[in-house]
Amino acid sequence: MERRGWDRPDFVFVSGDAYVDHPSFGLAIISRLLEADGFRVAVLAQPDWTDPKAFLRFGLPRLGLLVSSGVVDSMVNHYTASKKRRGDDSYSPGGKAGRRPDRAVITYCNRLRSALRETPVILGGVEAGLRRFAHYDYWDDRIRRSILIDSGADLIVYGMGETAILEVARRLRDGEAISRIRDVRGTVYLDTGPGIA
């Protein structure tokens, strides 16, 4: 940030993966796409989720927080189909396991919410996309509610999110509140309006 002359980023992108600047990684595509559109994106890769200060490394972003567990769901990354703990992590330096928490999206969002309460939080990636609605959870052997509820995030961008994230980012830049962004294709939000139980 100092070398680029930034006082603060527009977005901080929190990821459960190490940063790999390659088009096979969604983090690289989305951050480069936003950057090409004039946004300042700081990548916070594999933050120490046990230390709340780790999430403040880049300070308060101007527009929002982007959160992804990485290219693989964190539970699949940690456990085999027989629910045994894996000994390595292909998306961490040196293949070292344990650099991201179980249910990484929920954990990261809870830490971010405690540190940066009013900042919009936008989820993306496979873990958020697959859990955008109530779903069967293999590890708990029960139905879990939408990840939006457990994470406290404002919005999920799912699928191939390039078009959706650019529209959301531009509208935030133009001063629109995240709570008013309800019409972007490829997004999910939680409706807590009148009559909703």
**Domain locations along the chain:** 11-188
Predicted pLDDT of residue 79: 86
pLDDT band (50, 70, 90) for residue 196: low
What does DSSP say about strands 64-68 and 41-45: parallel, antiparallel, or unpaired?
A: unpaired
CATH entry, 11-188, from 3.30.700.30, 1.50.10.20, 3.50.50.60, 3.40.50.2300: 3.40.50.2300
pLDDT digits (tens, 9 = 90+) for 19-31: 888 888 888 999 9
pLDDT digits (tens, 9 = 90+) for 65-75: 999 998 888 88
- Paired with 14 in beta bridges are 44, 67
Predicted pLDDT of residue 114: 84
DSSP reduced 3-state for 99:
coil
